[in-house]
């Protein structure tokens, strides 16, 4: 087995950034010391360094992720030549359908949202779960299913257990059932899920392809079920598949 080497300072910085990213609000130094196991002197030195780099910011009586880290994160999409193409394509989709558009990559058994363009509606009827950088289990969301469908059944079996986590009562929880659904997605080019992630929300997704950096990418739209009928569902399905094909052309 190949040896792996660890740089403790980098790992500890990663632990701090991970804790701040997961919190969704400012985190006090005392809480970071407790969760990281670092001494206060070491922790404060790391916090000061991260703050100077603008990777974190002092907020109220704690710390949050900083604008410098946001800039670095955006480079992830830029390096894959997707940012401008996604913005243009999503803008056209929104102009026609007035629904949010999301871009995500596959990371192991999860999807990570890397870009989003919002619709022009003033009021959201259903809370979206696609904040940039957020993750969802791939087996329960349309984006994840579109991405998993790009893999072979053997590759999916290697990644996922027989029993799958239930996010809502409608989530598929058996791998065998998921494999049958993935076969249908490969045939149609479209992944659909209804209320498997959030009550009242349906999602439509299509696989884009693999970027030059080796990331598997898919695009989706999320629509409250109350705004769907057979005609609108068909229009949105065609639109999201066309957007995926458009983005595939720039990879």
Confidence category of residue 23, pLDDT binned at 50, 70, 90: confident
Please report, for the chain, the start and end positions of each structural domain, with discontinuous segments joined by +: 8-65, 74-248
* CATH 1.10.10.10 for domain 8-65: yes
Closest of 134, 139, 203 to residue 173, by C-alpha:
139
* pLDDT at residue 20 in the model: 87
**What percent of the chain stands above pLDDT 90?**
52
Please give the CATH number for the structural domain made up of 74-248.
3.30.450.40
Mean pLDDT of 87-113: 92
State the CB neighbour count (10 A cutoff) for residue 106.
Answer: 23
Please state, in angstroms and rounded to a whole number, the distance separating the CA atoms of residues 35 and 169: 32
pLDDT > 80? residue 122:
no
Q: Using one digit for the tens of pLDDT, what is the confidence trace for 44-88?
A: 899 999 999 999 998 888 999 888 887 787 776 666 667 778 888
Please state, in angstroms and rounded to a whole number, the distance separating the CA atoms of residues 56 and 72: 12
Mean pLDDT of the chain: 87
Cβ(138)–Cβ(161) under 8 Å?
A: no
Sign of the dihedral defined by the CA atoms of residues 139, 141, 143, 145, in that order: positive
pTM over 0.95: no
Same fold, 8-65 and 74-248: no
Residue recorded with tokens 């996010």 = 167
* pLDDT at residue 80 in the model: 63
Q: Using one digit for the tens of pLDDT, what is the confidence trace for 169-200?
A: 999 999 999 999 999 999 999 999 999 999 89
Q: What are 27's strand-pairing partners?
A: 63
- Which one-letter DSSP state was computed for residue 2? -
Please state, in angstroms and rounded to a whole number, the distance separating the CA atoms of residues 4 and 158: 23
Please state, in angstroms and rounded to a whole number, the distance separating the CA atoms of residues 200 and 63: 34
* pLDDT at residue 15 in the model: 87
């Amino acid at each position: 087995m190949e040896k792996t080497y660890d740089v403790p300072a980098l790992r500890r910085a990663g632990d701090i950034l991970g804790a701040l990213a997961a919190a969704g609000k400012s985190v006090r130094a005392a809480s970071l010391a407790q969760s990281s196991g670092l001494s206060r002197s070491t922790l404060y030195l790391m916090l000061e360094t991260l703050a100077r780099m603008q990777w974190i910011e002092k907020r109220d009586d704690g710390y949050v992720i900083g604008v410098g880290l946001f800039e670095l994160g955006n480079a992830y999409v830029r390096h894959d030549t997707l940012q401008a193409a996604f913005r243009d394509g999503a803008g056209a989709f929104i102009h026609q359908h007035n629904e949010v558009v999301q871009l995500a990559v596959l990371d192991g058994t999860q999807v990570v949202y890397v870009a989003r363009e919002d619709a022009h509606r003033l009021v959201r009827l259903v809370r979206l779960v696609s904040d940039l950088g957020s993750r969802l289990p791939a087996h329960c969301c349309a984006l994840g299913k579109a991405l998993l469908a790009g893999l072979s059944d053997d590759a999916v079996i290697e990644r996922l257990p027989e029993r799958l986590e239930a996010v809502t009562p409608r989530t598929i929880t058996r791998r065998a059932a998921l494999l049958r659904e993935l076969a249908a997605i490969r045939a149609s080019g479209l992944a659909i899920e209804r209320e498997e992630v959030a009550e009242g929300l349906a999602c439509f997704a299509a696989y884009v392809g693999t970027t030059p950096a080796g990331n598997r990418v898919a695009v989706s739209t999320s629509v409250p079920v109350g705004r769907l009928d057979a005609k609108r569902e068909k229009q949105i399905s065609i639109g999201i598949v066309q957007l995926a094909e458009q983005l595939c052309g720039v990879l």
